[in-house]
């Protein structure tokens, strides 16, 4: 396909394998540059700086063309010597008598993304294997030079405003032992030794696709994309288990990373599908005498009515609090003080009263904090 691309260097033209038309008659003399912002959750220009050690990819169309790219999946890099984001290996100039629309994405050259003038399509993306922050930029439409200001008339730029949004979700699990000693009113003192043998989340959809369409179609400006229904991707059915903490004795007041923060496919959560499982060993001592040793799994659905999905551009922090209070290894029934073992079979305790409950809350930059309280 023939492409209209304007550049200065004859050497760059000879090195390029694509067919390009060189024409100085419609250049305005200014090189095309980019200004990046990443990590936004609103249209306001208040994100973090895109890391200068990374690159991203850009498509661009000149006004009035049908299908022809002005920039055809061009890699954009940070030029330290110029303190500016510019195309890698080529120099592009602003056309003199037309405008240009830009659509950018990250990571560079991502396999499985299709960029069109009014649509972004992800397909067959294996998020679990990739483990990268997949981002897309708002469409920058109708630009004819490097703008000094974007349309809010406040935020300064020295290039095409390239405003990135996160297209994935992230989750992490923190486990905390609230205490390991308790003294009753009658003087009885109980101590617990709590050990996490293993922790994992299972039934997690790992790959799939999503379609983003333009939220509006003004001829000029920075235009956001409309997210897919439910603010989630469509999984392809592939699931996995993500393993975390293992063989770790817990100390009260210390946070332990049960599952390290990972990128996950934004997905609807359904009962009996996505689960968290923690295998625990709890040794109980009463008045200095070993009383009971229990090893068991605590399993909970990650779906709850107030948190039905892991949504695009959200970070989910699950805090699992272990509180050894409710379970005495006898299903909550009173112990038999005349029996040296408490009337409990330590190899097969009834833990029916040990529960996991969730209390979700939203805080700050679209972060979702969830506390999972395990009463043992």
- Parse the chain into domains and list their residue ranges: 10-166, 169-207+230-375
Q: What is the pLDDT of residue 13?
A: 26
User: Which residue carries 């659509």 as its tokens?
Assistant: 103
Provide the pLDDT confidence category of residue 220 given band limits of 50, 70 and 90. Answer: confident
Is 68's pLDDT higher than 90?
no
Provide the pLDDT confidence category of residue 66 given band limits of 50, 70 and 90. Answer: low
CA 142 to chain centre: 31
C-alpha distance from residue 135 to each of 105, 114, 132, 325 (Å): 6, 13, 9, 44
User: Which residue carries 């020295």 as its tokens?
Assistant: 158
What is the bridge-based pairing of β-strands 135-137 and 169-177? unpaired
d(CA 329, CA 25): 85
64 φψ region: left (φ > 0), alpha (ψ -120 to 50), beta (else): left
CA 81 to chain centre: 32
List the Cα angle 241/246/247 in 5-degree steps. Answer: 155
Nearest partner of 267 among 233, 290, 225, judged by Cα? 233
d(CA 247, CA 241): 18
d(CA 175, CA 198): 12
Predicted TM-score of the model (pTM): 0.77
The CATH architecture assigned to 10-166 reads Sandwich (2.60)
User: What is the percent of the chain with per-residue pLDDT over 90, rounded to a whole number?
Assistant: 37
Q: What is the pLDDT of residue 246?
A: 96
Q: What is the pLDDT of residue 373?
A: 55
Most confident of 51-65, 178-192, 235-249: 235-249
Is 218's pLDDT higher than 90?
no
Average of per-residue pLDDT across 11-33: 43
The enclosing H or E element of 267 equals strand 267-268
d(CA 346, CA 349): 6
Q: What is the pLDDT of residues 238-261, one digit of tens each?
A: 999 999 999 999 999 899 999 999
Q: What is the pLDDT of residue 183?
A: 84
Average of per-residue pLDDT across 213-217: 87
Average of per-residue pLDDT across 83-111: 89
- The number of C-alpha atoms within 13 Å of 3 and in the hemisphere containing its C-beta is 20
Provide the pLDDT confidence category of residue 106 given band limits of 50, 70 and 90. Answer: very high
DSSP state of 127: H
d(CA 130, CA 114): 17
Of 41-50, 101-110, 328-337, 356-365, the one with minimum mean pLDDT is 356-365
What is the bridge-based pairing of β-strands 289-301 and 315-323? unpaired
What's the start-to-end Cα distance of the chain, in Å?
A: 67
List the Cα angle 40/229/141 in 5-degree steps. Answer: 50
Beta carbons within 8 Å of 340's beta carbon, 6+ residues apart: none
Average of per-residue pLDDT across 51-60: 91
Average pLDDT, the chain: 77
Q: What is the pLDDT of residues 127-185, one digit of tens each?
A: 999 999 999 999 999 988 876 644 444 444 478 888 899 999 999 998 988 888 888 78
d(CA 129, CA 240): 11
Most confident of 76-90, 102-116, 282-296: 102-116
Is 95's pLDDT higher than 50?
yes
Provide the pLDDT confidence category of residue 317 given band limits of 50, 70 and 90. Answer: confident
Q: Which residues of 26-38 are buried (b: 16+ CB within 10 A; e: fewer)?
A: ebeeebbbbbbbb
Is 262's pLDDT higher than 80?
yes
Is 233's pLDDT higher than 80?
yes
């Amino acid at each position: 396909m023939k492409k209209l691309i304007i550049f200065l260097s004859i050497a760059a033209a000879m090195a390029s394998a694509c067919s390009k038309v060189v024409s100085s008659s419609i250049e305005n003399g200014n090189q095309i540059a980019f200004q990046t912002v990443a990590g936004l959750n609103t249209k306001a220009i208040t994100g973090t700086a895109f890391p200068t050690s990374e690159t991203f990819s850009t498509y661009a169309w000149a006004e009035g063309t049908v299908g022809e790219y002005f920039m055809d999946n061009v890699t954009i890099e940070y030029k330290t010597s110029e303190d500016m984001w510019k195309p890698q290996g080529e120099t592009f100039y602003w056309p003199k008598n037309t405008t240009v629309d830009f659509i950018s994405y990250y990571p560079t050259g991502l396999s499985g993304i299709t960029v069109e003038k009014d649509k972004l399509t992800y397909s067959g993306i294996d998020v679990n294997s990739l483990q990268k922050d997949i981002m897309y930029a708002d469409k920058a439409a109708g630009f004819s030079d490097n703008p000094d200001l974007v349309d809010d008339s406040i935020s300064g730029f020295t290039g095409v405003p390239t405003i990135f949004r996160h297209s994935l979700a992230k989750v992490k699990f923190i486990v905390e032992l609230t205490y390991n000693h308790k003294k009753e009113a009658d003087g009885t003192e109980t101590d617990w030794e709590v050990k996490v043998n293993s922790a994992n989340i299972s039934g997690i959809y790992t790959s799939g696709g999503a379609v983003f369409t333009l939220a509006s179609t003004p001829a000029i400006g920075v235009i956001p994309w409309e997210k897919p229904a439910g603010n989630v991707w469509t999984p392809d059915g592939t699931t996995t288990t993500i393993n975390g903490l293992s063989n770790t004795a817990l100390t009260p007041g210390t946070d332990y990373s049960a599952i390290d923060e990972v990128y996950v496919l934004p997905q609807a959560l359904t009962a009996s599908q996505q689960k968290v499982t923690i295998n625990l060993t709890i040794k109980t001592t009463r008045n200095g005498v070993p009383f009971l040793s229990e090893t068991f799994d605590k399993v909970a659905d990650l779906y709850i009515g107030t948190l039905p999905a892991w949504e695009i551009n959200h970070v989910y922090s699950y805090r699992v609090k272990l509180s050894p209070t409710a379970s005495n290894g006898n299903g909550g029934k009173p112990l038999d003080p005349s029996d040296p073992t408490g009337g409990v079979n330590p190899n097969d305790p009834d833990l029916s009263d040990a529960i996991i409950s969730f209390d979700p809350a939203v805080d700050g930059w679209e972060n979702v904090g969830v506390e999972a309280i395990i009463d043992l």
